[in-house]
Structure 1
Amino acid sequence: MSYTGFSTPSIAIINQIQTLLKERYKEGFPVIKEIIQNANDGGASTLHIALVQNLKSQSLNPDISHPLLKRPALVFINDGDFSDKDERAILWFGADL
């Protein structure tokens, strides 16, 4: 995949995720259901779910500075396929194409 010289500030991505969650996922646990469905669609045989409360203190790199890694996080990892098309979909997250 070729990249341009443009980049998006991390805070813009955080704000976009917060807005998406507020607008589209109001009741129940649709985000978790969607993550499970995505793993299934990718042919995953395992899905690991973890709560990471203090990544900075657990890291071999104490200089973690990315804003997404500064707060507690729910992490989902699966062994399904991840294609170039999947990568593009993530890079274009939130865009109406």
Structure 2
Amino acid sequence: MLVDAKPPVNDDVVYIHAAVEGVKAGMPFRQNHVRAYKPIDISGRTWRAISWTTAASAVSVVELVAEGSLQDSGFIKQEDITLDALFSTQAGRHFEKQGKV
């Protein structure tokens, strides 16, 4: 029913906005991470933004577990994975290269 109402498009955009607020070195602190991700070409194939961002997130975690940066059993909380660690993976590099606003 949803596909008939709103069929998939090839020019989608995924927006990410993350904000951190608190106290740092005794001073109020706020930092924002805002990005817009568009479809990209990976290995000669164009991937919609929702497809590659979803897949890259999951594959990045698999890469981190495989290299021993994350535990290989049990529950892994997303907040235990730093942005730098995500960006260090082959799949995660797409997030760093793409999405500048």
TM-score (normalizing by structure 2)? 0.27
> Structure 1 or 2: larger strand share?
2
Structure with the largest fraction of helix: 1
Quick check: which has more Rg, 1 or 2? 2
* Greater RCO structure (CA 8 Å; 6+ sep): 1
What TM-score do you get using the length of structure 1 for normalisation?
0.28
